[in-house]
Chains A and B, each alone.
Chain A
Amino acid sequence: MKMWKNMLQDKLALLSFSIISLVMVTGLFAPFIAPHDPYEVHMVLRYAGSSWTYWLGNDHLGRCILSRLIYGIRPSILWVFAALAVSVGIGAMLGFIAGYFRGKIDALLMRICDVMLSFPGTVMTLAIVGILGVGLENILTAFILMKWAWFARVIRTAVLQYSESDYVKFSKAIGVKPFKIIYRHIVPVTLSDIAVTASSSFGSMILQISGFSFLGLGIQAPHAEWGMMLNEARGVMFSRPEFMVAPALSIMIVVSAIHFFSDYLQVALNPKLRTSKHKAGDFAGTTTPRLQEKEVA
């Protein structure tokens, strides 16, 4: 595909994509990759520095920080990703229906979205955690409940913009069925908007889940999570500040990578960059300056 070829030219995008996929694969295969059991306590090794057996040292219970970091990918990133996928899925479905069919169904769906969006997100999450109890799955449920409305809104706006275009009118005129029009004409052009909004909110969702875990509302001990690891290191913040470095850096690197990648997606999914062989020379001429510009930024 053209998109992957373009990515090979954009070093920042390639780096971000490699980081994201590497982290995700590591998280998926955590039991095989982690050097130690993340729950194994060695009180002798409390606050030990890095060594050849424990690369990143040991925490306040003598557990291997690297292993905990690797296991922490699962709640911090993979579960957030799953929640994101669910909420984007719900939002996209409703957004497409509202934006394409308009009229009463649009009005109804958008009023429901208005109601959902009128609750402050964090307060709503806290309320749901308050009702359902502390835990990762409850926070994720709260995320899905809160986010779908926002995605439905954004996607509906994108769909509205394209469903008025002449090629959609033409398809309607020649009698193509509505869902086929959505699938053939509207999904491809709105995909870039969906990908960009989804990927940028992926970053903020990771930060939020780490934030909630930092506050002790998310995943519970002894399970590892990056935000919770930060919280555990907080106790020795002044005597041993290096313990905060590993989880903090992991969050920063992953979130930055996601943001850079979503920037790239915005450019790459623009169909104007897709050019056939006829104008190959022209194509190279127009994209190179853009890529250089991005690297500087």
Chain B
Amino acid sequence: MLSVNGVSKSYNKSGWFQKDKQRVLEDVSFQCGQGECLGIIGESGSGKSTLGRLILGIERPDTGEILFEGKRLGDAKIRAGNISAVFQDYTSSINPFFTVEQAIQEPLNNLKSGLKSHSDLIDDLLLQVGLHSDYRKKYPHELSGGETQRVCIARAISTSPKCIVLDEAISSLDGSVQLQILDLLKDLRSKINTAYIFITHDIQAAAYICDRIMIFRNGSIEEMVSTDQLKDVQSHYAKKLLQMTILN
């Protein structure tokens, strides 16, 4: 469904007349199937969030292409309704002037077909993420981190997208809330059958929810394993990464 083919990305270093560029992604290729949960794991600065931005079409790759059902994701019309996202920073993930209701409505309004009232749908979405319909009129600063993240998930699933990019979606939450959100995500996946691209630095969280895990290092794929074979990783770096997690 989603295929990333030979994608590279580099950024200009600061300065006008400097020509040198910093390579962030180097020839990355992978596929993500329908309803699959793919984990992308890497250290800070490994380029995994850049990859997330490219998949979301916020930025364009320098070379290579990202296709969604055979069409280029750079086109906003292809993305609308099909792809969605949940981000890390819950303090800025909802416009402070929007109520919960308005925030969830945004992706619906963006689809041309969605001109009718979404009132019932919003109640239903809130219910699905475990929030009462009283939350509709609240502003984001009145919500806790976990609640905001639930609203973001409700917003992400509102158009029943085929793929959701979760960029460190649980990393800024504390332990027990992380588990609640992971369970919620698992639960939702079984209901609406969307694919997740789960970007994180937390191997345990990834192992908990993902089918396949991609270990990312210095802008390229180090190794790709399915979660049940996580113990049998081949590369030295992946082994080290796993050992560190077990020691913790």
A177 lies within 8 A of chain B by Cβ:
yes
A174→B84 contact, CB < 8 A: yes
A169→B85 contact, CB < 8 A: yes
Stretch binding the partner chain, chosen from A46-54, A73-81, A142-150, A270-278? A270-278
Q: Which of A103-161 contact B (CB under 8 A)?
A: none
A240 lies within 8 A of chain B by Cβ:
no
A40 to chain B: closest CB distance in Å? 53
Q: Which of B56, B88, B99 contacts A173 (CB 8 A)?
A: B56
A170 lies within 8 A of chain B by Cβ:
yes
- Residues of A within 8 Å of B165, CB to CB, are 173
- Residues of A within 8 Å of B92, CB to CB, are 165-167
Q: Which of B80, B97, B99, B141 contacts A174 (CB 8 A)?
A: B80
State in angstroms the CA–CA spacing of A257 and B182 once bound together: 54
- Residues of A within 8 Å of B56, CB to CB, are 169, 172-173
Closest B-chain residue to A188, C-beta based? B97
State in angstroms the CA–CA spacing of A165 and B97 once bound together: 14
B93→A277 contact, CB < 8 A: no
A171 lies within 8 A of chain B by Cβ:
yes
B206 to chain A: closest CB distance in Å? 21
B71 lies within 8 A of chain A by Cβ:
no
State in angstroms the CA–CA spacing of A166 and B56 once bound together: 12
Given known contacts A166-B92, A189-B96, A276-B99, is B79 in contact with A173 (CB within 8 Å)?
A: yes
- Residues of A within 8 Å of B139, CB to CB, are 271, 274-276
B121 lies within 8 A of chain A by Cβ:
no
B63 lies within 8 A of chain A by Cβ:
no
Number of A-B contacts (CB under 8 A): 86
- Residues of A within 8 Å of B145, CB to CB, are none
State in angstroms the CA–CA spacing of A292 and B107 once bound together: 42
B116 lies within 8 A of chain A by Cβ:
no
A5 lies within 8 A of chain B by Cβ:
no
A176→B110 contact, CB < 8 A: yes
A289 lies within 8 A of chain B by Cβ:
no
Closest A-chain residue to B90, C-beta based? A166
State in angstroms the CA–CA spacing of A237 and B53 once bound together: 68
B142→A173 contact, CB < 8 A: no
Closest B-chain residue to A186, C-beta based? B95
B141→A173 contact, CB < 8 A: no
Map CB proximity to A onto B75-97 as digits: 1 under 8 Å, 0 otherwise: 01111110111011100111111
Which 10 residue pairs of A and B lie closest in terms of their CB atoms, listed nearest first?
A: A175-B76, A175-B80, A173-B56, A166-B87, A166-B93, A165-B92, A271-B96, A175-B79, A173-B85, A167-B95
B positions within 8 Å CB-CB of A: 53, 56-58, 76-81, 83-85, 87-89, 92-99, 103, 106-107, 110, 134, 137-139, 141-142, 152, 155, 159, 165
Contacts A185-B95, A189-B97 known; list 8 others, CB within 8 Å.
Answer: A169-B56, A171-B106, A173-B58, A174-B107, A175-B80, A184-B95, A271-B139, A279-B142
